[in-house]
Structures are given as C-alpha cells and as structure tokens.
Amino acid sequence: MSDILATLVADAERQTERSRAVRPETELVARAAAAPPARDFAAALRRPGLGVIAEMKPRSPSKGPLTDDYRPADLARAYQSGGACALSVLTHEDGFGGSPDHLTAARDASDLPVLCKDFIVDEYQILQARTLGADALLLIVAVLTPQRLAALLAYTRRYGMEALVEVHDENEVDTALAAGADVIGVNHRDLRDFSIDRTLSARLRRRVGSRRVMVGESGVRGAQDAHELRRAGVDAVLVGELLMRAGDPGATIKELIG
C-alpha cells in the first residue's frame, strides 16, 4: 500500500471510530435491515452505450479544493439531467472534504443508484453506507487481504448493495475475481506518484472477462479520453474532477456519453 493510500485508510478508520462512538453497530444493523431496497447499480452500468458514474467531492488530496460552492443535491440533479447512469459521493472527510450527509442529500435529489466512495475496511462502514441510502460502495483490493475482500463483498451483498471493486494491475484483477467481484473498476492513477496510465483498461479487459462490468477510473479529461476508453472495452467511466470544475456538468456528461 502506498503512503498516501495508507494515510487515507487511517483517516477513514478514525472517522469510523468517531461514528461508532455516537451510533453503535447494533443500531445500524436494525436501520440497515429496514432501509428501502437498494437501486440496481450493476444494471445501470450495463445499459447500452458508455455509462458515466458522475462523482462529487469538494476537494482531492492531490489537487486541493475543486469548488467553493459544494451542493450535493444540486449536483445530483444536474448529473442526472446530463444522462449519468449513477452517482459517486465522497464521504471521506479528511482527504476529500466529504460527509455522510452528502450521500443522503444526493440520493434524495436523484433517482440514480448512488455509490458510497470511501476507504472501506470495516463492516460498520458498510452498514453505515446502507443506512445513508447507498446502493453500492467501493472496495479497494490494494487495502484489503483477499480474505477480507471476500468477506466485505459478501457483507455488502447481504444488505442488497453491490461493490465496485477497484484494481490497479493483473494480480489485483485475479484477487477481485477470486472474491466474486462482478463490477471491477480499473484505476488509471498510480497512487505512489499520481501518474495516469489510461492504457491500463485496455490491458486488463480480457483478464476481467466479458461477463463482468468494467469501469475506467481516473484521468478522464474530456470526451476523447472517454471515447478511447469505450473502444478499449470499458462499460462506464467514473469522472469526478472534470465535472466538479465544469461550468455546466450536465452538458459535460452529454459530451462524454457522445
């Protein structure tokens, strides 16, 4: 695990312990079981054409603030009007300025499936995501042992959600497949030096297999990048910074879809 990734995971663990002190796990179990059914994240990504998972976040660890007027509900409506197939909402506080409340606000303002974007290593975080209204969540192979990945994926599905399982190379694809992942996100960003390699999706498509959904993550600077990734075989792209800086994010999504 890179230093930056280790720091973000440690921040998420501290955030989780703060939440656990306020609301015990037994309370979340009851609330998660009673939550409305999750929207079908995987089916939304399988629709014809290139899907866009539109991400919202106030800032990033590498780029700093991305907006000075962060309104998750307004963004959710704009993203949906532009044709996004799903939303991704950062709930990680220290690195991205996110909040659990942002996820609830976005889901209430939209009919789209919502992905909880955080560094998840604990069942408590999965329960919390479901109670907030999440339909899917992120599991990162690089921060989990194969055994923990499989356990957390099973726990996610126990509550009706799906996981976007993030990989960075061939070995991590194999780990994701062994755990039973159906939606695999290929992160083009190397978290050791923040360099971007958009050819990674093309290299990993065959290994992922045609039966599984593949998402291209990071480094989509515009329509040309999105269309190249579609030709490389991705079913959807996850786009954040481009949309957060766009004057009209709905129009930008339409351009990405093509």
Looking at residue 135, which CATH number applies to its domain? 3.20.20.70
Q: Which structural domain, as residue segments, surrounds residue 99?
A: 3-257
pLDDT at 117 over 90: yes
> How far, in Å, CA of 228 to CA of 216, rounded?
11
* CA atoms of 127 and 91, how far apart (whole Å): 14
Count of domains in the chain?
1
Residues 199, 18: Cα–Cα separation, whole Å: 40
Question: E strands within 76-172?
Answer: 86-90, 114-117, 136-140, 162-167
List strand residue ranges (DSSP E) for the chain, in order.
51-56, 59-60, 64-65, 86-90, 114-117, 136-140, 162-167, 183-187, 213-217, 236-239
pLDDT tens-digit series, residues 81-115: 999 999 999 999 998 999 999 999 999 999 999 99
Give every CB contact of residue 155 below 8 A, 6+ residues apart in sequence: 123, 126
| Region of residue 134 (phi > 0: left; psi between -120 and 50: alpha; otherwise: beta) | beta
Active site residues: 55, 57, 117, 166, 187, 217-218
Report yes or no: 42 and 76 within 8 Å, Cβ to Cβ.
no
Q: Are strands 59-60 and 64-65 parallel, antiparallel or unpaired?
A: antiparallel
Contact partners, residue 79, CB within 8 Å, separation at least 6: 54, 56, 87, 110, 112, 243, 249, 250, 253
Burial class (CB in 10 A: 0-12, 13-18, 19+), 103: buried
> What confidence score (pLDDT) does residue 92 get?
96
- Would you place residue 232 in the very low, low, confident or very high pLDDT band (cuts 50, 70, 90)? very high
Is 202's pLDDT higher than 80? yes
165-196 pLDDT, tens digit each: 999 999 999 999 999 999 999 999 987 777 89
Q: Which of 202, 229, 225, 236 is nearest to 43 (CA)?
A: 236
Contact 137, 161 (CB under 8 A): yes
Task: Supply the pTM of this predicted model.
Answer: 0.95
